[in-house]
Amino acid sequence: MLTLENVHVSYGPIRALHGVSMTIGAGEVVTLIGANGAGKSTTLRAISGLVHASSGRILFEDKDITQMSSAEIVRLGIGHSPEGRRVFANMTVRENLELGAYCRKDRAGIREDFDRAITLFPRLKERIGQNAGTLSGGEQQMLAMGRALMGRPKLLLLDEPSLGLAPFLIRDIFSIITDINKQGTTVLLVEQNAHMALGVAHKGYVLETGHIILSDSAQQLLANDDIKKAYLGE
């Protein structure tokens, strides 16, 4: 479904990705793990067109999306739930969710996905008329995910969905990710919580200072001694 071939990204003089290659098959949950500053968010931004690769290619369903705008990429079926709960603070939960469907016209489908989002996240249903800026951090995280789902993406990019959540909510979020995947959405998950991420993923990539240093099935990565020491705190 998605292929990155030797992708390089720089922010001015700062080189963030030095030739990242990865593949994601339709129906998979793939996780990208790595330390702070490794380039995980940049990889997601490059896929969704928020930054552009200086070299290399990104193919989605065989189309070259490397230099496409983020609006075109959303229309092709890639949704992005960014790190840091980027919700529209002065708009209500309902308005934020509706905005996630801005490029769709199928009213019945939008209604269906709205109902699905508030079923997946009952907390959002309770706060549907509340301004997003007054939600707790965890609720804003759920809203960002719900909003990305409102675009009915084929591929959902999730940046640190567990960040700042209470432990019981972290379990909820990972089980929701599994549900979303079972309902047919392919997921690329960026996480510092490598243990939980590898628990729900089929395979994983390990990113270190802009390079992929390892990729394997999630099971093999969980059993790998170097990964255990560096990322699983064992």
- Report if residue 150 touches ligand ATP, rule: CB under 6 A: no
Q: Which two tokens stand for residue 65?
A: 């999306």
Residue 78 beta carbon to ligand ATP: minimum distance, rounded to whole angstroms = 17
- Beta-carbon contacts of 118 under 8 Å, excluding residues fewer than 6 positions away, are 97, 124, 125, 128, 146
- Report if residue 11 touches ligand ATP, rule: CB under 6 A: yes
- Report if residue 48 touches ligand ATP, rule: CB under 6 A: no
**Residue choice 2, 4, 22, 42 for contact with ligand ATP (CB under 6 A):** 42
From residue 56, how far is each of 20, 71, 205, 216 by CA, in Å? Answer: 8, 21, 18, 22
Q: Which is nearer to ligand ATP, 23 or 192 (CB)?
A: 192
Residue 211 beta carbon to ligand ATP: minimum distance, rounded to whole angstroms = 12
CA distance 58 to 55: 10
Residue 74 beta carbon to ligand ATP: minimum distance, rounded to whole angstroms = 20
Residue 124 beta carbon to ligand ATP: minimum distance, rounded to whole angstroms = 25
x-marked contacts with ligand ATP along 75-94 as a string, rule CB under 6 A: --------x-----------
Residue reference for tokens 């129906």: 27
**Residue choice 31, 41, 66, 181 for contact with ligand ATP (CB under 6 A):** 41
CA distance 115 to 125: 9
Q: Which is nearer to ligand ATP, 93 or 190 (CB)?
A: 190
Q: Which is nearer to ligand ATP, 101 or 157 (CB)?
A: 157
Stretch in the footprint of ligand ATP (CB under 6 A) among 10-18, 116-124, 175-183, 217-225: 10-18
- Report if residue 25 touches ligand ATP, rule: CB under 6 A: no
- Strand stretches in the chain, DSSP E: 2-11, 14-24, 29-33, 55-60, 63-64, 78-81, 155-159, 186-191, 203-208, 211-217
- Report if residue 14 touches ligand ATP, rule: CB under 6 A: yes
DSSP secondary structure of 16-48: EEEEEEEEE-TT-EEEEE--TTSSHHHHHHHHT
CA distance 207 to 78: 22
From residue 18, how far is each of 3, 11, 15, 230 by CA, in Å? Answer: 16, 12, 7, 21
- Report if residue 13 touches ligand ATP, rule: CB under 6 A: no
Residues that bind ligand ATP (CB under 6 A): 11, 14, 16, 34, 36-42, 83, 192
